[in-house]
Amino acid sequence: MRVARSLDGGVHVVWYDENQGATHVMRRSGDGGATFAAARVVASGFAPSRSPFPFFTWASYPLVATDPADPRRLYVAWSADSGSDQTDVFLTRSIDGGATWGLPIRANDVSAVPRHVFFPALGVDAGGTVRIAWGEDRFDLANAGTLPYDVFVAASGDRGASFATPERVSTVSSDPRSEPIGGNFLGDGFALSASGVALWTDTRNGNADIFAAAADGGAVCGDADRNGAVTVTDGVQTLRAAAELSSACELATCDVDANGRITVADGVSVLRKAADLPVGGTCGPAR
């Protein structure tokens, strides 16, 4: 079971319900939890994750997050079996406060080599960017589907309609056999902040440590089109995003002053950077 609160004070509780088959269900409270509306089905008909590993719990349990700026936008994510010894991470969204839900989409990329994707974590930042983090064994070429894992984050700049290519945020693979009880239990989950910082159990030092890393780490501040250079075109895209004429500019690249939203001031700063003029904020020397 997971709980999230929306901007209008709504309390949203989601859980996995085996009484209805493989189904995720949500109930909403509009009075702080004193009463709850009838349960609504979020997703159903999926195959629960199968865990061949002894080191993490069976995990098709759902996660829930709300848009910090729009109480109508809700998101639920989970991992599920996709056949051929492959697990994937899925997301569904509601744009009407949970009354109806869209078709689930896959957040991770697809490989011909079976992978195990586990411990998804979900976050939504102030600009509406949706991110999902998870553990995955894609670099375990010797024992595919077995042991060493890394952590990836995928971002959606269109509020959950699609996801960009996942970004690896761990720099060294972890072997779960290094945790204190010999690989028998890695934990119950990883975590992801609303701003895109992933936290996970990491064993690179021969024991279980907590590591953290920010997603979008390779983004160039002001590079709206992500072509590696900041140009006048990027400044125009930032201004269009500030005027809500375009959603092509992500918070990670266009929120120059790091105040949680894209504004005209950010667009001006990107234009100044394109012209090699001094710029403060996150586009300054520290970036």
Residue pLDDT, tens place only, 193-241 = 988 889 998 988 888 888 998 876 545 567 777 665 678 998 899 999 8
Q: Is the pTM of this model over 0.75?
A: no
Lowest mean per-residue pLDDT among 4-8, 94-98, 120-124, 169-173: 169-173
**Alpha-carbon span 87 to 78, nearest angstrom:** 10
**Cβ atoms 192, 122 nearer than 8 A:** yes
The pLDDT tens digits of the residues spanning 30-41 come to 999 999 999 999
**Residue whose entry in the numeric block shows the structure tokens 């309390």:** 11
Q: How far apart are CA 166 and CA 164, in angstroms?
A: 6
Assigned token pair, 122: 């979900």
**pLDDT score for 287:** 31
State which fold the 2-214 domain adopts.
Neuraminidase (2.120.10)
Instruction: Answer yes or no: is pLDDT of 101 > 60.
Output: yes
Domain ranges of the chain: 2-214, 232-283
| Total residues belonging to the chain | 287
Rounded-to-integer distance, Cα 28 and Cα 287, Å = 41
- Report CA 88 to chain centroid distance, whole Å: 13
Higher pLDDT, 156 or 285: 156
Sign of the C-alpha dihedral computed for residues 134, 139, 141 and 146 taken in this order? negative
Which amino acid is it at 149?
Y
Q: Which pLDDT belongs to residue 62?
A: 93
Quote the CA–CA distance of 159 and 226 in Å, as a whole number: 19
Mean pLDDT of 171-191: 74
The overall average pLDDT reported for the chain is: 82
Residues 6+ apart with CB under 8 A from 183: 54, 55, 175, 176, 177
Which of the residue ranges 44-53, 61-70, 215-224 would you say has the lowest mean pLDDT? 215-224
